[in-house]
Amino acid sequence: MDTIMLEHGSGGRMMHSLIRDVFVKGFDSPHLRKYEDSAVLEIMDKKIVFTTDSYVVDPIFFPGGDIGMLSVAGTVNDIAVMGAIPNFISCGLILEEGFSREDLQKIVDSMKQAADKSSCTIVTGDTKVVDRGKVDKIFINTSAIGTMIDGVSLSKESIKPGDKILINGFIGDHGIAVLSKREGMEFGTSIKSDVQPLNMLIKELLSNGLTIRFMRDPTRGGIATTLNEICDGMGFGIELFEEMIPVRDEVRGYCELLGLDPLYVANEGKVIAVVGREDSDKALEIMKRHPDGEAAAFIGEITEENAGTVSLRTTIGSHRIVDMLSGAQLPRIC
């Protein structure tokens, strides 16, 4: 394929192919070859975590949040799931000529709110204004630096058969909130995005001496794509239990109407944690006690069978393969 398509930014197979064949191959560093959202770096015997992300969501205001809240929360979460404390954020804004100053102020206020909630400070930035029509209202890039929590080491290589998979709440809220607003399909319901920084919840999990093997925030491509990323090329498989995956009735209804699968719909306030079997009940209890994890659930486990594959045990007892997202299910949801 000689041109870039929307599917290359969807979080699925085409995006992973683009990353592998162009960026990792072109830049060729050991940090990139780990295919993580953040890089763990050592500077003067100290481990720090560095990440960057760009946000182009359409619409820029949606039920439960906006592009400003999204840009800070998403970047904070990328740091936190690596086992680090987010410390400092930079923000770069590209503005379209004619963009509303009032809307810009609302977005800045949301960024400050998210930064305050995460106890992370916005310390530097950059602003560019381009001709009308050269960008869609506003695009934001945020980067962050965090410091590793002492004694924490999370990796796919530490995952073992029998480990449990937990999530801190309902899936698909963000993708459906954005889609319903963009397409004018609210139908009298009020589905809100789950966008929020999760570092305080994650710190609580990591501060209790539990066997936490790995964590990831399931954004583009939903939990299906994230779980495929976790077991890809590894010596274990993943089995999900459909009846235990928390999905709001409203989200399920939207998905059925539009022919979407909630497993592939984006989230912005969710963390998947792979936890040792012996600590899974305690980890779930900690999640449920936290305001950002009240609807937490055990949704699956690591298996010896079907290495590199995610399967779903359906409510009727059958099994189906849950593959990585192909194509662009929900364009521009982050």
- Structure tokens belonging to residue 61: 């205001």
pLDDT tens for the 334 residues of the chain, in order = 689 888 888 787 888 888 888 988 999 988 888 888 899 999 888 899 999 999 999 999 999 999 999 999 999 999 999 999 999 999 999 999 999 999 999 999 999 999 999 999 999 999 999 999 999 999 999 999 999 998 899 999 999 999 999 999 999 999 999 999 988 876 666 899 999 999 999 999 999 999 999 999 999 999 999 999 999 999 999 999 999 999 999 999 999 988 999 999 999 999 999 999 999 999 999 999 999 999 999 999 999 999 999 999 999 989 999 998 776 667 788 8
CATH number of 36-148: 3.30.1330.10
CATH fourth-level superfamily of 156-321 = PurM-like C-terminal domain (3.90.650.10)
Distance linking the first and last C-alpha atoms of the chain: 24
Is-same-fold flag (36-148; 156-321)? no
Output the pTM of the full model.
Answer: 0.94
Q: Compute CA distances 156 → 162, 214, 220, whole Å.
A: 14, 6, 20
Q: What is the pLDDT of residue 186?
A: 66
Angle between the N-to-C axes of helices 67-80 and 101-117, in degrees from 0 to 180, rounded to the nearest 10: 30
**In the chain, domain spans:** 36-148, 156-321
pLDDT for the residue 333: 86
Q: Beta strands 65-66 and 138-148: pairing type?
A: unpaired
Give me the pLDDT at residue 1, please: 64
CA 262 to chain centre: 15
The sign of the torsion formed by the CA atoms of 67, 258, 189, 289 equals negative
Could you tell me the CA-to-CA distances from 18 to 6, 8, 223, 332 in Å, in that order? 12, 7, 20, 17
